[in-house]
Amino acid sequence: MQSGFSTSGFSDALVILGAAGVVIPAFARLRISPVIGFILVGALVGPSGLGSYAAQFPWLNYVTISTPHAIDPFAELGIILLLFSIGLELSFRRLWTMRRIVFGVGAAELVGSAAIIAIALYLIGQGPPGAIGLGLALALSSTAIVIPLVGTHSAVGRSALGMLLFEDVALVPIVFALGAMAPHAANAGVGSLLVTLLVGAIAAVALLVGGRLLLPHLFAQAARTKSPELFLATCLLVVIASSLVTSAVGFSPVFGALIAGIVIAETEYRGEVDVVTAPIRGLGLGIFLITVGMSLNFRLIIGSWDEVLLAVLGVLAVKTLVTTGLLRLEGATAAVATETGVLMASPSETTLIVLSTATAAHLIQPDTSAFWQIVTAIGLTITPFLAKLGRFAGRQAQSEAPSRVALALQEGATAKVVLLGFGRVGRIVADMLEAHGFAYVAIDSDVDSVTEARRSGYEVVFGDVAHPGMIARLQRGHPSAVILTMDNPVLVGRLATRLRQAFPDMPIVARARDTSHAARLYKAGVTEAVPETLEASLQLAEAALVDLGVAMGPVIASIHEKRDELRAKIKLEAEMDEVPRLGRTRLRDSQASEAGSNRSTPAT
């Protein structure tokens, strides 16, 4: 009896799950971005790779994707969930604070890059409508690849997110504008565009208002069931329904997913939604990246490699220069502007949509569209390498930061205390130094924190404390002391060693994570290491014991006993000759010294 069993769908699933479960962990061990891994898998198993030999060797059907277009819906779901997760990290307040980068730099970057690319293509023979269509298509950048590489909380991530948000919103007007430019469209496209924009605005407002009213109740009902499966189903229902609404009115489905994420971000379910959807979001994004790899046509690339290379380099150069220049005009540092410019240089997955629209409108020829699809696929493939190149270029562009540090230290007649890191801890330390008349200068690598602190009157400069030239510049400034306030144990330990080598006799005070970290910092040469968890724990215990009715005397005695025990532990781990001072014992020892006491450090 012959079975109707087909291996096609199962073999596609085998390739996808094999990439996620075997290939990607292998790339992770080699410290290669998973983005590159998924794209290379797609190139290998796609129709231009091993798939081209499946007819000669049937067994290859089990390790190649037999129907590439069958996985497109899953790839689209991955992009939709990615935009949904971006929305979860936004809020209405954050969107309002980003309005200048979104509608200012974002709009200028898209129009500027498109104009320069269009002019260049027109000069080499492309017709005006086709040049405009290609310029707009290639000026777009990839949300699906850029955001996972840099996140949304760093200065680079915020700049990239703002421009990408504008591009996502501008996709619909671009598509309609190209349709209106078609030879057969006449003037009909303009009216359709205005109607679609109006309906889209109404749909967006309806989603925002309706979501704020309905979603809290919907997720509350799902949470009461205590069923993770039902909660996940509710999340997917909200995402897909929102995407279908915006898609039905002519907008991109990712726009609806973004709105859904923003609405949920205002509720108490944001964290749980993010955690529940993370696995399926990661797998969907991986499928999208596989489709990108599958679109690489190696025969076409090899046949016209010189033209492809020139086109890729031209697009990257134009977008890098435009983005970097605009961010510098906006006030971003050279490091942030340069890294963002290089990162945003490659085309986008939405470039393929615009190319298809331009081809359907007869603005460009099919062979021209195929050529630029290859350029787009190569650009998406090298985006992780561009991220690394951008970080390197940003560090090089930041070379002037150590000079600013040296100048800030040399201002004034007295030597200054240097604060490395200016978060909550650094700000309190700065307040105390200022209250006691000590001049200081703080260094932080978060440009937004630096800008806010300077507006508040603090002496803060932008700089990467891990920069190789930073220690040398500090030496030129002759600081009186250095205080390490960063919540980064590895970096604090590395800086402590380098600072002690550069300043053999200078006081170095460091923030430690716990007593074990404090012991390692003492080994590295710090003068004082302050475990942040120690005093908080002791004060918490003291307050609890007193509230529970224990007399103050025994409580204080037990606190001192515990502190001495921890001091002894640090001395042992750090192999020190003397017991380190911790917490309130500094004040006690100082008072004893002022009184002329010769009391020695408590024995261990």
Per-residue pLDDT of 234-274, as tens digits, reads: 888 888 888 888 888 777 677 788 788 888 877 778 778 88
Residue 397 has pLDDT above 90, yes or no: no
Both 259 and 282 in a single domain? yes
464 and 398 in contact (C-beta within 8 Å)? yes
Q: Which amino acid is at 362?
A: H
Q: CA neighbours within 13 Å on the CB side: how many for 212? A: 9
Count of structural domains, the chain: 2
- For residue 590, what are its two tokens? 């100082």
Asked if residue 429 belongs to a domain, the reply is: no
Q: How distant, in Å, are the alpha carbons of 46, 325, 373 from that of 43?
A: 5, 35, 14
Record the tokens describing residue 407, joined without a space.
Answer: 């100048």
Which range among 192-196, 251-255, 328-332, 473-477 shows the weakest confidence by mean pLDDT? 192-196
Q: Is residue 546 part of a domain?
A: no
Indicate whether this model's pTM tops 0.85: no
- pLDDT score of 138 more than 60: yes
What distance in Å separates the CA atoms of residue 254 and residue 188, rounded to the nearest whole number? 26
Say if 556 falls within a structural domain: no
169-183, 293-307, 327-341, 580-594, range with the lowest pLDDT: 580-594
Answer with the one of 66, 90, 105 that is the final residue of a domain. 66
Q: What is the mean pLDDT of residues 528-546?
A: 83
Least confident of 2-6, 110-114, 132-136, 370-374: 2-6
Is it the case that residue 367 has pLDDT exceeding 90?
no
- pLDDT tens digits for 191-229? 665 676 677 778 878 888 888 888 888 888 888 888 888
On whether both 295 and 154 belong to a single domain, the answer is yes
Question: Tell me, what's the pLDDT at 1?
Answer: 43
Dihedral in degrees, nearest 10, Cα atoms 302, 303, 307, 310 = 10
CB burial of 415-438 (b: ≥16 within 10 Å; e: otherwise) equals: bbbbbbbbeebbbebbeebeeeee
Which of 342-346, 560-564, 569-573 shows the lowest per-residue confidence on average (mean pLDDT)?
569-573
Least confident span in 48-62, 157-171, 430-444, 589-603: 589-603
Mean pLDDT of 370-383: 84
Q: Can you give the pLDDT at residue 108?
A: 92
Q: Is the pLDDT of residue 482 over 70?
A: yes
How many Å apart are CA 530 and CA 518, to the nearest integer?
A: 7
Q: How far apart are CA 41 and CA 49, in angstroms?
A: 10
- 26: which 2 tokens? 């292998």
**Where is the domain boundary, 66, 89, 104?**
66
Shared domain check, 127 and 18: no
Q: Are residues 300 and 193 in the same domain?
A: yes
Contact 496, 521 (CB under 8 A): yes
pLDDT confidence bin for 316, thresholds 50/70/90: very high
SS3 588: helix
Domain that includes residue 285, residue range? 67-397
What pLDDT, on a 0 to 100 scale, did the predictor assign at position 121?
92
Do 141 and 1 sit in the same domain of this protein? no
Does residue 316 lie within any of the structural domains?
A: yes
Mean pLDDT of all residues belonging to the chain? 78
Q: Name 419's bridge partners.
A: 442, 483
- Assign 508 a pLDDT band (cuts: 50, 70, 90): very high
* Domain C-terminal end among 16, 44, 66: 66
CA distances from 216 to 212, 221, 263 (A): 7, 9, 10
Sign of CA dihedral 182, 138, 81, 203: negative
